Each structure stands twice: as C-alpha cells, then as structure tokens.
Amino acid sequence: MTTIVTDNCKNCRFTDCVTVCPVACFHYDDEMLYIDPDTCIDCSACIPECPVQAIFEGDDIPEDQEHWVEINAEKSAALPVCEEQMEPLPGAEERKAALGF
Amino acid sequence: MANLGTQENPLLVAIVGSGPSGFYAAEALIKSDINVKVDVLERLPSPYGLVRSGVAPDHQKLKQVIALYQKTAESPDFNLIANVNVGTDISIEELCQSHHAVIITSGAETDRKLGVPGEDLNGSYTATEFVGWYNGHPDYRNREFDLSHDVAVIIGQGNVAADVSRILSKTVDELKHTDIAQHALDVLAESKIKEIHVIGRRGPAQAKFTPKELREFGELADCNSVVRAEDLILNPESETELQEKSNIASKKIYDQFCEFSKREIDIGKSKNCFFQFLMGPKELIGSTKLEKIILEKNQLSGEAFKQSARGTEETIELEAGILFRSIGYRGVPIANIPFNDSWGTIPNEKGRITDNNGSNIPQLYTAGWIKRGPSGIIGTNRACSVETVECLLEDIAKLDSETNKAGAKAIYTILDRKNIRHICYDDWKKIDKKEIERGKLKGKPREKYTYIDEMLSELK
C-alpha cells in the first residue's frame, strides 16, 4: 500500500493534509506536496482533508495517476518536510473551482 | 529571576497521559524556540495509550507512528514518569505547584451507554473492554468473553465496531503473527461464533467506517461479508448526500456495500458477517445472561447531511449470546478539574481549561479526546495538541515565573514518600525489548506483558 499526492495538488498546495499527518511525512516544493513512502504509515487521515481530492491510497489510485507513486518517492527524498499548514498558493481557490470543487 | 522559557529558568510542563495527544503536545513544546522541560505522567508502566492498546493488532503499520514518539522521548527535555495515577498517587494541585503548566491528555477511557433495559446483562459488553482485552491492556486482562454461541452482535458502525467485528471474523492463522495478546488468541481459537451482525442506527450512506477498514472485510479468509441488496435502497436525501463530491468517503463505503451485496455467499467459509442498517437495540433479554435482542427498525428524518434515525415501533428479535456496544467513547472526570458530563470532556477554549463561568483557569490546559471528544484518528490529535501548546506559549508571560518550581524532583519526592514505584523511559525500553524478544519466538512483532507486576518484575 502506498499513499500519494497527485495532479490536483499542483498549484493549489492547500496543506490541510499536513495538520492531520501523525508522522509528518509531507514534503513540499513551489508547486505541490509529496508523501515520503518510507515514513507514511498509510493511516489515510489526510485523504478526506484535501479540498481538491489529490490524495489517493493503494487500490484507489486512478490508473492515469500511477506515475505519481515514483514522483512522490523521488521528490520527497530531496525536499524539506512541511511541518505545519502553509498559505495556499496564489490562485489556489480559482484552481479549486476550476477542478469542480 | 530570568524570564520563563530561558536556559536558566526553563518552562516546566507536566503532561497527564502518554497517548498520541500527550506525545504531540510534548513534541510541540520541545520543538518550540523556548527552553522547556516536559514531564509526562502515565498511569500504566507502558506509554503510547491507544496506539498500544486501541489500534488493532492486525494494523501493525499504524503502530509505526510510535517511531515518531520514540524520537520525542529521546530528547533530553523529555521525561516519562510512568505507573503513576494522577488523581490518586499525585494530585493536579501538586502538579501545579511543581510545574508552571499542566496539560491533561487523558483521553476517553470509557464507553457511551445504549441506555436500554438489559444493557448490564452478562454477555453484553463494551467494545472498550474487548479491545483492551485482545490488546493486552492490564485493566482488561482478566475479563472473560464467552464465545461459545453462534451469534455475536456489534452495535455501531464506526472503526472500533469494524475492529471488533474483524477480530471476531478472522481465523487464528490471520491473527497469530500480529501482536494480539496470547490469552485472547487462545480464547478466539475456541470461538464458536458463526454469525456476526454489525448494526447501524442509520443507513448505508451514513456508516462511519473508513473505506479502507470496510474493504478489509472483503478479504477475510474464512468469513463472508454479507449485505442484502434491499437494505441498500436509499431515500432521496441519502442519494443527495452521496452525490456531493466532497462526500467521497461515504460514496466509497456505499459502493463497497453494493459490491458485498452482489457476492455469492461462499458456503465453504464457516462464518458470515452481516452488515445491517436502520436498526437500534430496544431491549436485551435473558434470564441470567443475554439470550436475545429486541431491535427496533428506524427511519431517517431531516434534510441531507442532517438526517437522524427515529424508531418506527416495528421490532424484530435476534437471538444472540454476546453483544458489544461501540457507539462512542467518553472521557472520565479527574478530581478537581471541571467536567462536562453530557459530552464527557473537559470544558476548554482552544485547550485552555475553563471554569463554570467560562473563565480560563491559570496553568491548566488540555488536548486530545478529553478536550474535543472522541472523534478523528491519530493524526487529528496532532493539530489539536499544537493548538493547545500555542495557547500555552502565548500565555507564558502570565504564568508564574518567580516561584521556584522543582519540576520532576518534587513529583519524585511525593511518590517516594508514598512508596509508589515509578518507572522512567529507560525502564520502559527494557520492558519493550523483552516484549519484542518474547514475540520473536512466536513469529509475532511482540508478546505484550499483560499484568503490571510482570512488567515491573522485568526491571528487578
């Protein structure tokens, strides 16, 4: 089982997920968040928190998002941990609306 | 005297309870930019609260969260004082004298009651007792559960209900390599239960399982998960609820029920787990012990997302030898701390404990389930504890920085005077190591000590 952040987070980065992560496994860059698969315990607490439903676990990962498994692992290894909630990126609300949420 | 929170005058905080909220509060304090010394008091010799004694034994990955707590515990500013009962061995007043602030993170230790006749019959139990028993909690070590009947009933459709039902549904082979307590595995091996009924008062669109927990019921080695198709017909309000995009978890749960309803029952499997909806217990009947349950059918009323269940007076009978209620936890009051009896929580404002007039009581804070009620999962407590610690640090100028506080030393003096055996984190590490060694022999992650004396004797 792996839990990953996918497409919808890009240019939103709401970080609501970070506040409920029991193990601080979210990492970030200027665009979005990534989950460190070695730290994540697959508790799925973050999944319902995401306002744009960008987080998926194991069996629920849509086929066209599967490439994110590798990206999450690679990116998280090199990026800083997101310890607490940050301001969403500029334009996040518009993007959320455009995504239909 | 130097300002509070400096190296010469560190902020001394006592935390009552070493579950997730206690550890997240300790972590937030230690990671803050002020100097702190944190003393965490724990009633049992073992730390980690419900991560150790609540999280199901077949969910080992969730228990890896302990690695993070261990990191906090290794900090020189962290000190564990375990096997100490706050309220009897030491009072909150004494902690307020020895420390600048006290954070109560004692959790929700008891269950909500059904409030129906026969509830206290032999054979009617709380999920808490059963969960504590199979997880080796010393309080529940000597509970006896008679699993010699065909039918078990679980009232409630949240994740604790799912855990209890799943443990009853699994085979010994599915459990023997988990850290389930040996005494529980021995009793479960002799279980005669063939039918497990998981009963929710509202409908399939309102069940509170997480999708992942429910999915596990589709993968049981020797148990069918059964839902009747006619029970999945929704009222228009529930349809509306499931169409709402943000309600994706309920949609996934409903879809999983639909999938179960289409499955052929595998008659090769020896158990069946039935998910049933829109019913609540009206009465438990039995002469000396539980024999049958009168269930009242419910209907939903109210608008979408605010639907509540109401009894219809139509009843059915279900013969059952054992019942577990799992309809929510409740906190228990602590001596001289305000308590909201209807919620089972300590009244507070963002974690600052308040008195009957709503005014903050100096020095006293709370976090976790005893602060906000028993909702959310492990990680939810992190945000909750962070909020409390932020308030505490905002108040630092108001805390008494002049009186000389003795911190842990004062606690030890009181405990030693009363001859109370207290154990530290290094002591716990020895017990932990022994448990892991014991487990290894059986191919288990650990074999827990289930009596307090057993744990303490490892330290001699």
Collect all residues of chain B within an 8 Å Cβ-Cβ radius of residue A84: 386
Determine the distance in angstroms separating the CA of B47 from the nearest CA of chain A, rounded to an integer. Answer: 17
Report yes or no: A22 at the B interface, CB cutoff 8 Å. Answer: yes
Could you say which of B61, B245, B246 has the minimum Cβ distance to residue A41?
A: B61
The answer to whether the Cβ–Cβ distance between A43 and B378 falls below 8 Å is yes
Q: What tokens appear for B7 in the block?
A: 């190296």
> Which residue from A19, A43, A53 is facing B377, i.e. has the nearest CB?
A43
| CATH number, span B110-329 | 3.50.50.60
Where do the CATH 3.50.50.60 domains begin and end in chain B?
110-329
Residue of chain A whose Cα is closest to the Cα of B63: A41
CB of B408 within 8 A of CB of B386?
no
| Cα distance between residue B43 and residue B81, in whole Å | 9
Q: What are the pLDDT tens digits along chain B (460 aa)?
A: 678 999 999 999 999 999 999 999 999 999 999 999 999 999 999 999 999 999 999 999 999 999 999 999 999 999 999 999 999 999 999 999 999 999 999 999 888 899 999 999 999 999 999 999 999 999 999 999 999 999 999 999 999 999 999 999 999 999 999 999 999 999 999 999 999 999 999 999 999 999 999 999 999 999 999 999 999 999 999 999 999 998 999 999 999 999 999 999 999 999 999 999 999 999 999 999 999 999 999 999 999 999 999 999 999 999 999 999 999 889 999 988 999 998 899 999 999 999 989 999 999 999 999 999 988 889 889 999 999 999 999 999 999 887 889 999 999 999 999 999 999 999 999 999 999 999 999 999 999 999 999 999 989 7
What are the tokens at B385?
């504890």
Q: Which ipTM value was assigned to this complex?
A: 0.89
With contacts defined as CB-CB under 8 Å, which chain A residues touch B64? 23, 41
Cβ <8 Å between A101 and B245: yes
Distance in angstroms (rounded) separating the CA atoms of residues B430 and B423 = 11
Question: What fold is seen in the domain B11-108+331-423?
Answer: Rossmann fold (3.40.50)
- What is the bridge-based pairing of β-strands B195-199 and B271-276? parallel
User: Min CA distance, B68 vs chain A (Å)?
Assistant: 6
Shortest CA distance to B41 belongs to which of B414, B351, B390? B414
Q: Which residues of B touch A100 (CB under 8 A)?
A: 245
Distance CA B50, CA B52 (A): 5
Which of B67, B212, B380 is the closest to A44 by Cβ? B212
- The residue behind tokens 């020896």 is B270
A43/B252 touch (CB, cutoff 8 Å), yes or no:
no
Does B20 contact A at CB distance below 8 Å?
A: yes
- What stretches of B135-247 show up as alpha helix (H) in DSSP? 159-169, 172-175, 182-189, 211-216, 236-243
The minimal CB distance from A41 to the residues B65, B215, B386 is found for B65
Residues making up chain A, counted from first to last: 101
Identify the residue whose tokens are 């309220």: B87
pLDDT tens digits along A45-95: 999 999 999 999 988 899 999 999 999 999 999 999 998 899 999 999 999
Q: What are the chain A neighbours of B386 within 8 Å (beta carbons)?
A: 19, 84
Q: In chain B, which segments carry CATH 3.40.50.720? A: 11-108+331-423
CATH of A3-98, one of 3.30.70.20, 3.90.226.10, 1.10.10.10, 3.40.50.300: 3.30.70.20
